[in-house]
Each structure stands twice: as C-alpha cells, then as structure tokens.
Chains A and B, each alone.
Chain A
Amino acid sequence: MCQILLIDDMQPVRHAIAATLRKAGHDVVEADDGHKGLEIASSRQFDLVITDIMMPASDGTDVVFELKTRSSAPKVIAMSGGGAGIPADNALQLSSTQADAVLKKPFTNDVLIETVSELTSN
C-alpha cells in the first residue's frame, strides 16, 4: 500500500483514477490544482505524486519541477492528454525530463496500476 497524492482539475477523471488506485489498495489524497497539491505535499510525506499537466489554475510541469527540487522527493508520474492544439507528447515533453514516469491519456486502469507498482515496488 502506498501514500499517493493525485492532482487533476477534472473532477470525474480524478474520481475515476482515485477509485482505481484505492481499489488496488492505495491511500489516495486528491487535489484539484497544482498549488493545493504542493501545499498538501509540504504538509506530509507521499510515496508517489500523480499530476495532470495542463490545468487552468497552475501548470503541472511546475509541480513536477518543484517536487523534484525537494529533499526526499516522492516519485512523480506526469499525465496528460494534451489540449486543444497541443499533442500529449508536447504537453509532457518538459516534465518527462524530471518525472519518473509519464502517462498519456487516455490510459486503461491496468496501465495505471502497472505503472504505479513498477515505481513503488521497492
């Protein structure tokens, strides 16, 4: 079981991802934008942070870079489906240099669970 922080501005998407992670036995804390996510990440220790990249209030790329500058940084998964005019690959380009894994939306539950367990197995 892992402590996971999940950051995504789309509530139904966040709900589905959180439900999938919880069913796999993980503890999940949800945040709906990058600022709130970073605040929560400062207040307690997580094994893994999963963050969306393109969010209206704050960019997920900042979250990835900020987390990775911290001592005892958690593992980080960046995820994106891109946006209007921006393919997912482009959206993930910058954060992929810092994140431990990237997930291109849409992804299946199996891919999500597999990626999480690969990163947190040790």
Chain B
Amino acid sequence: MQGRTVQGYAALEKIAGTSPDLLKSLLEGSPDTVSVSDARQPDLPLTYVNPSFQKTTGYTSEEVLGRNCRFLQGDETSPDDVARIRKAIADREPIDVVLLNYRKTGEPFLNSLRMAPIFDASGDLSAYLGIQRDITEERIRAESENSRNRLEALGTASGALAHQLNNLLHPVTSLISLHLPDIPDPDIRTDLEMAHYSATQAAELSNNLLGLSRGQFEEDTGVTTLPSALIRTVDLVRLMLPPTVTIETGFSNIPTDVNIPISETMFAQVIINIVTNASQATKHSGTIRIELAEIEGSKAQISIADNGPGIPFGLRRRVFDPFYSNSISKNSTGLGLSVALQIINKVDGNILATEGLLQPNGDGRGCMFTIDIPTIT
C-alpha cells in the first residue's frame, strides 16, 4: 500500500463507522484551510474546500470547485515556488512551501501550503490534500521583531565602538590643541588645524553613535522624546543609506520637547522603514525631506517626502498592504510600510501617503508619508 499509513487508519474507520458526522465536522471546523483535488481527473480540479478556504481567499466553494487551484497565484508569485509544487506533483511527493497568493479582492497574502498525495485502499493515487495557512500577520510580526533585534544589536555595538573611539580621539584633539599655539610656521599650523578639525568631526560622529545606544540601554519606558530621538534616528539612517541620497531636515517647528507613547526602538523602526522606502523610490539618488511639527498641541507630525516617481492617487492606501510592491527583492521584504503602519496604529496614530517633493525634471511630484502620533500631555 503505497504511501498509506496503516496505523491509525483503523481508528479512523471506527469513527467513520460510528459517527461519520464527526469526520465531516473535523474538516469543516478546521481553522486551517483544507482542500482536496481529484488526482484522477486531468489538471487536478478541486473537489472540496472547507469554510476556512472561503474565509482566507474570499472565494466561495461554488466559484472554485472544478478548477485547478492555480487561480490563487498572481504577478508576484515566485515561479520557483510554483515549479517546486509541480515537481512534487510529478514525483507524487508531499511538499511544504510558502508562497505568495492572492485573495479574490486581489490582496496578496503569504500562504503556507502543505500538500500531500493521498492513496486509496488499493494504493492508487486518488487525491491531493492541501492544508494551508495565511501567515501574513505572523510574518509581519516576525519582521518587526527582527528589525527590533537588529536595531538593539546595532545600538549595543555602536555604543561600545563609540566609547573606544572617544578614548582614542581624546588624546588626538587634546594634544594637537595643546601644542598648536607653539607652532611658529603658519603652514604647519594650518595642517595641524586640519588634523584637529577632522578629529573633532570624528568625535562628533562617535557621539552620534553613542546617541544611538541611548534609549536602548535605558529601561524601555515606552516613551520617546522629540526632536532628540528623531535627530538620532536620522543620523543612523544617514549611515545606512548610500551617500548619493540627500536627506534634508526641518526640526525647528517644535518649540519644546514633545513626548510620544512609543519606545524609541519601535519609533526608529518606523522612520527607518519609511526613509528606506523613499530612498528606494528615488533609486537611491534623490532628495528626502524630513520635517517635524506639533499639531494643535496634541499630535506630533512627522513628514517624510521624496522626489521619486510618486504613487498614483488610487493606489496610495494600498502601499501599506503587505507585499504590495513592484519590486520585492532580496533587499526588500515587502513588509516595511506594513510594519510601520501597524506600529503607529497601535499607539492610535496614523500614516497617510500624499504628494511629495517636485521631481528633478519638474514634471510631477514624489511621495510624502505623513505620520501623526498623539503626544503625551
């Protein structure tokens, strides 16, 4: 009996004999999506989907029975994943695969699919069983957790590095400035002044690094103070992006410090994700303008505008959908903006996409993301 687990089958037969409804209820009540395809018909048409299938995909069973389930695939579904499924079917092997599928609304979701060939009592291949789970939310949480861990590790490493650098730079600046007045030759003095200037700049950079580690080491109070935290985060972003990107800032619209109810690591994640997205939009060669304002004394508003190709009006809400991207690549998870919106929504804030900076050719406008966060009063 090929591929058939005999053990346990007897128990199943008993259930089938005494309470056949239970078997049906198991399938119908399963939180995971269960689908069955007929292996005896050409192109493996679906012969059963449980209610969870409709909940996840938006298709009713009437709409899908008799069709091959490839209608769930779409533009961004990886051909490699599809090829793996095909090969498993050809080899009559089970397969585990995570692939991008699309709901009836066109909304992409990440589908964790397990598929197995089912053999009947005489050992003939009769069906394919598909168990599926929408793991989009799970992936967003994991992505958010990953970047939080990365930021914390970066904070720890940069803090340690900054202390070492400061200790090394202190003698440089101190000794040069100590002896500079005694140098009679103006040319040598100019050279040493240049060396002193460079060492001072390096010390400043090192202090910026040190700033990154603040808020990480302090107990996480869940409060972030603006503009100082924004200045630190933008310093970090500058280090992360290629130097071909121009970042302009306007933080002077805030008269005093403003507190927002979010931890600095989470806040940094939001800013980094949006600025990175803006940089990608300009192909890392445009201008990004970041501004901070206080609205009606109850909201902090941060706008991040770029001069990239912009987003057509009708699509501006959809950029926050998971995997909404025309360029999911190795460097981009397609989740950056979804993660940012989720973090901000959690503190009763919002992010809106509107028109940004004038494009370099003067034709149109790039994109602007405006983050509103309620302040703590």
Contact = CB atoms under 8 A, between A and B. Distances in A.
Contacts of B170: 12-13, 16, 105-106
Interface in B190-215: 203, 213-214
A81 B166 contact: yes
A41 to B, nearest CB: 24
A83 B166 contact: no
A21 B332 CA distance: 54
Contacts of B166: 81, 105-106
A87 B160 contact: no
Given A13-B171, A84-B163, A19 B156 contact: no
A interface residue count range (under 10 / 10 to 19 / 20 to 34 / 35 or more): 20 to 34
Given A10-B167, A86-B217, A105-B166, A16 B156 contact: no
Contact of A84 (B159, B169, B174, B218): B159
B interface residue count range (under 10 / 10 to 19 / 20 to 34 / 35 or more): 20 to 34
A85 B156 contact: yes
Contact of A12 (B171, B203, B214, B218): B171
A87 B214 CA distance: 8
Nearest to B207: A106
Specify the main secondary structure of chain A where it touches its partner: mixed
Interface in B157-189: 159-160, 163, 166-171, 173-175, 177-178
B171 A15 contact: yes
B178 A23 contact: yes
B304 to A, nearest CB: 29
Given A16-B178, A105-B166, A84 B171 contact: no
Nearest to B217: A85
B174 to A, nearest CB: 4
Contacts of A83: 163
Interface centre among A15, A23, A85, A86 (most CB of B within 10 A): A85
Interface string B24-47: 000000000000000000000000
Interface in A12-58: 12-13, 15-17, 19-20, 23
B161 to A, nearest CB: 9
B178 A109 contact: yes
Nearest to A9: B167
B174 A109 contact: yes
Contacts of B163: 81-84
Contacts of B156: 84-85
Interface in B47-102: none
A108 B177 contact: yes
A116 to B, nearest CB: 14
Contact of B175 (A16, A86, A106): A16
A16 B174 CA distance: 6
Contacts of B178: 16, 19-20, 23, 109
Given A10-B167, A13-B167, A85 B174 contact: no
B167 A85 contact: no
Interface in A73-122: 81-87, 105-106, 108-109
Contacts of B168: 12
A84 B160 contact: yes
A63 to B, nearest CB: 19
Nearest to B177: A109
Contacts of B169: 106
Interface string B210-243: 0001100110000000000000000000000000
Interface of B: 156, 159-160, 163, 166-171, 173-175, 177-178, 203, 213-214, 217-218
Given A19-B174, A86-B217, A105-B167, 11 more contacts: A10-B167, A12-B167, A13-B170, A16-B178, A19-B178, A84-B163, A85-B160, A87-B217, A105-B166, A106-B169, A108-B173
29 contacts: A12-B170, A12-B171, A13-B167, A13-B171, A15-B175, A16-B174, A16-B175, A16-B178, A19-B178, A81-B163, A81-B166, A81-B167, A82-B163, A84-B163, A85-B213, A86-B217, A87-B214, A87-B217, A87-B218, A105-B166, A105-B170, A106-B169, A106-B170, A106-B173, A106-B203, A108-B173, A108-B174, A109-B174, A109-B177
Closest 6 CB pairs of A and B: A84-B160, A16-B171, A16-B174, A12-B171, A106-B170, A16-B175
